[in-house]
Chain A
Amino acid sequence: MIVAGLDIGSTTTKAVILGFGQGFGGFYSDSMKPTGIDMPSVSKEVIGEAAGKVRLSFNDIERIVSTGYGRISVPFRTREMTEITCNATGVRKLYPQATLAVDIGGQDSKVIKMDASGRILAFAMNDRCAAGTGQFLEGAARTLGVSIDDLAKISRESKRKITMNSTCAVFAQTEIVSLITGRAKTEDIAAAVHEAVANRVYGLIRSVNPEPAAQIVMTGGVARNAAVVGSLERMLDREILVPNNPQVVTAYGAALLAEDLG
C-alpha cells in the first residue's frame, strides 16, 4: 500500500509518501514547494517529486488524504481532514508522550491539547489575524532587509530589549519602520519581533489550559526558527521538542491517516 499525505498550507505545500506492507518493507519520502495559486497542479508536482525520490510516480499513489487550508481544492484526494487532526496524529507518532502540539504555519497558528492516549481534548487557532504566524516574521524580515532564515541568527546578537506594541502584522511593519528611523539596532528589532510572535502563541497555549507537565512539541515552518522556540521555552519555563523536519509533520499525519482509511 502506497499512501500520501498532502498538506496545502497558505505558503507551502508539503507531501509525505509512505509505503507499507509486503514487498515494500516500509518507506518514507517527502517534498515541498511554495503553494502559489494553482493548488491542484502544485500538489501533483509535490506528490510526484516525493514519489520520484523513491522511484515511483503520482499514479502509483493509492490513497491521498489532503489537509491544510487548500484541502478541498484537490479533486484527486481520497479524503480531506483538518490540519488539527493530521498534526495531532503526526506529532503523536513521533512523540508518543506528547500532550500539547503547537503548530505555527504561514498564516495560522494552532495549539492542540491531547490526553495521555492522544485523544484531542481541545484546540485553539489564531482568530482572523496573522499575528503570531510565519507571515508576521516574513513581513518583519522584509522590512528589516534580511532573509527569513537569518532573522533568528541576527536576533542572537541583541543586547537591548525592545517591546513591539503592535500585534497586527501590518501595523507591526509600520512600527518596525519607526524603530529603524529611531536608530534601533536590527538585532534588537529582530529579537522584539520573535518575542511578539512568542507572546501571541503563549496566549493561545494558555487558552487551552494545558497540563503543567505536558510534553510540548512544536511543528510548522516557524518551529525552524530557534529564536521563537527559545522565547516560548522561556515564557513557559519548559523544554519544547522540535522534530528534524517540523514543516512536514502535518502531511506525515495525513499520510498515517490515509493508511488507516482501510
Chain B
Amino acid sequence: MKKGEMLTGFKTMFKHPYRRAAEWKRITGKKVIGCVPMYFPDEMVHAAGALPVALFGSGEPISHADAHLMTNACDQVRSTFDSLLKGHYDFMDGVAALHVCDQVRFFIEVWQLDRPFPFFHQMWRPFKMDGSTRPFLLKELERLKSSLEKLTGNQITPQALRESIESYNESRLLIRAMNDIRSRRPGILGAADTARIIAAGMLMPIEENITLMKQLISVLEREAIDGSERTRIVVAGHPCAVPDADLLDMLENYGLSVIDDDLFSGGRRCATDVILENDPVEALADSYMNALPCTTHHFPSAWMKSGDDHSPYSDHVIEMVRKGNAEAVVILRMMYCDPFDLEFVFLKKRLEEEGIPFLPLVTQHGPVPLESLRTRVQAFAERLKTHL
C-alpha cells in the first residue's frame, strides 16, 4: 500500500470515529466502552474482552451541550457531551473515565444524571504521584478490574492482562518508531497526519492498529524525504484533545516542521511503557508513577528538590526542544483547560529564561477560526527566519 492511501485511510477513520467500533461490536457481539481522555488504562478493558475507544467529541458545532454544562467548561468536555446528546455514543455499552481534572469528573457526573448508561466507571487517580499514593492507585485499579469483570462476565486473569499490556506496549513502541522517523526526516509525515494516525489508533482494536502501524512504518522507511531546511519546532499542550488538523497544517505551510510534541494524540500517548516484571496490576500502577510530567498531576519529589515554583512539565518541554534540536515551541492552549492554563505561567517563564522562542495559541475543539491565528503563526515563522 502507498503512503497516500494509508494516510487517507487514517483520515477516514478519524472522520468517522466510531464506525469501526460499531462494526466490531456487531461482528463479535462483545462490548464497547467509551473511555474519556486521558490516561485511562485501556489495557484493563482489553483484557476483559471489550473494546476501549477514546471519546473525542466531534468537529461539529456545539449545539446541545450548553444547555447542560457551563459554557466555560473546556471544549473537549463540551464537545464530548454534545456528541453524547446527539446520540453518537448510543451503541456503546458503557463509559469510563479517569479523574484527570475536575471538569471531567463533573461532566461524568452530569452524564450519569442526564443520560445513564448501563455501565459507568469513574476511576480516581491521585494527583500526587509518589509512594504514599501508590496503594490508593492499586485499589482503584482493582476496583476497575472487578467492575469490568462484572460487566463482561470475563475474569481478567493475570495472563490476560499481561498479554494486553504487551500489545499496548508494542503499539507504543510503533508510535515512537514513527515519531523517530518524523524527527529524523522532517516533512515526511505532517503533524496533522501524525495526530490523526495516533488518534485513529484509539478507535480500533489494538491488534489492527499494530498491523497498520507496521505497514506505515515500512512505507515511511522506504520514502526518500529530507526536510532539513525546515524550521524544527516542538508542539506542547492540548492535554486531552486532538488539535485541529488545519491549524497543524498551517504551522507546516509556513515552513515549521513539528519534530516532537507532547500532545494527547502524539508523544504523550506513547511515552511510557508498562514495565512487566511481577504482577500486571502493580505494573500498571507503576506506569502512572513513572508517567511523563503532565499538567494534570504532580511529582512532589521534583518540587522538594527544586522549590515550590519548579515545574517538571517545563523541564520536559525544554528537554524535547534540546533533544530534538528544535528552534522553538508552539504552545496550544485549549480554551478553559484549567490545568494547562495554570502550568502555562511556569512554562512561559522558563522558556523566556532559556531564551527559547515560543508562540502561545488559544485553540478550541473542532475547527479553529484560522484567520485570527494566521497572522500570529506567520509572524512567528518570519521571526524565526528573518531575525529582524
Q: Which residues does A use to contact B, with CB under 8 Å? A: 69, 81-85, 88-89, 92, 114, 118-121, 123, 125, 127-128, 209
**Complex: how many Å from CA A88 to CA B382?**
12
**By the criterion CB–CB under 8 Å, are A88 and B352 in contact?**
no
Least CB distance, B34 to chain A, in whole angstroms: 31
Least CB distance, B385 to chain A, in whole angstroms: 10
Q: How many residues from B make CB contacts under 8 Å with A?
A: 15
Least CB distance, B251 to chain A, in whole angstroms: 15
Q: Which of B369, B371, B383 contacts A85 (CB 8 A)?
A: B383
**By the criterion CB–CB under 8 Å, are A88 and B388 in contact?**
yes
Interface of B is mostly: helix
**By the criterion CB–CB under 8 Å, are B379 and A118 in contact?**
no
Query: CB of B302 within 8 A of chain A?
Result: no
Given the complex, which residues of A lie within 8 Å of B278, measured CB to CB? none
**By the criterion CB–CB under 8 Å, are B388 and A123 in contact?**
no
**Complex: how many Å from CA A92 to CA B386?**
15
**Complex: how many Å from CA A116 to CA B369?**
34
**By the criterion CB–CB under 8 Å, are A118 and B388 in contact?**
yes
Least CB distance, A58 to chain B, in whole angstroms: 26
**By the criterion CB–CB under 8 Å, are B378 and A82 in contact?**
yes
Please report which residues of chain B, range 363-388, place their CB below 8 angstroms from some CB of chain A when the two chains form the complex. 369, 371-372, 375-376, 378-379, 382-383, 386-388
**By the criterion CB–CB under 8 Å, are A85 and B372 in contact?**
no
Known: A127-B362, A209-B352. A119 touches B382 (CB 8 A): no
Given the complex, which residues of A lie within 8 Å of B362, measured CB to CB? 127
Least CB distance, A103 to chain B, in whole angstroms: 12
**By the criterion CB–CB under 8 Å, are A82 and B379 in contact?**
yes
Given the complex, which residues of B lie within 8 Å of A125, measured CB to CB? 375-376
Least CB distance, B256 to chain A, in whole angstroms: 14
Least CB distance, B95 to chain A, in whole angstroms: 32
**Complex: how many Å from CA A83 to CA B375?**
8
**By the criterion CB–CB under 8 Å, are A120 and B352 in contact?**
no
Closest to A80 in B: B378
Q: Which of A84, A119, A121, A127 contacts B379 (CB 8 A)?
A: A84
**Complex: how many Å from CA A128 to CA B374?**
12
Closest to B364 in A: A128
Given the complex, which residues of B lie within 8 Å of A69, measured CB to CB? 371, 375
**Complex: how many Å from CA A81 to CA B376?**
11
Given the complex, which residues of B lie within 8 Å of A121, measured CB to CB? 357
Given the complex, which residues of B lie within 8 Å of A119, measured CB to CB? 383, 387-388
Least CB distance, B376 to chain A, in whole angstroms: 6
**By the criterion CB–CB under 8 Å, are B375 and A82 in contact?**
yes
Given the complex, which residues of B lie within 8 Å of A85, measured CB to CB? 379, 382-383, 386, 388
**Complex: how many Å from CA A81 to CA B386?**
11
Least CB distance, B387 to chain A, in whole angstroms: 6
Known: A85-B388, A128-B372. A123 touches B352 (CB 8 A): no
**By the criterion CB–CB under 8 Å, are A81 and B382 in contact?**
yes
Least CB distance, A56 to chain B, in whole angstroms: 28
Closest to A112 in B: B379
**Complex: how many Å from CA A121 to CA B356?**
10
**By the criterion CB–CB under 8 Å, are A123 and B379 in contact?**
yes
Known: A84-B375, A85-B388, A118-B388. A128 touches B383 (CB 8 A): no
**Complex: how many Å from CA A209 to CA B345?**
12
Least CB distance, A45 to chain B, in whole angstroms: 24
Closest to B378 in A: A82
**By the criterion CB–CB under 8 Å, are B369 and A128 in contact?**
yes
Closest to A115 in B: B388
Given the complex, which residues of A lie within 8 Å of B387, measured CB to CB? 119
Closest to A72 in B: B374
Least CB distance, B361 to chain A, in whole angstroms: 10
Least CB distance, B360 to chain A, in whole angstroms: 9
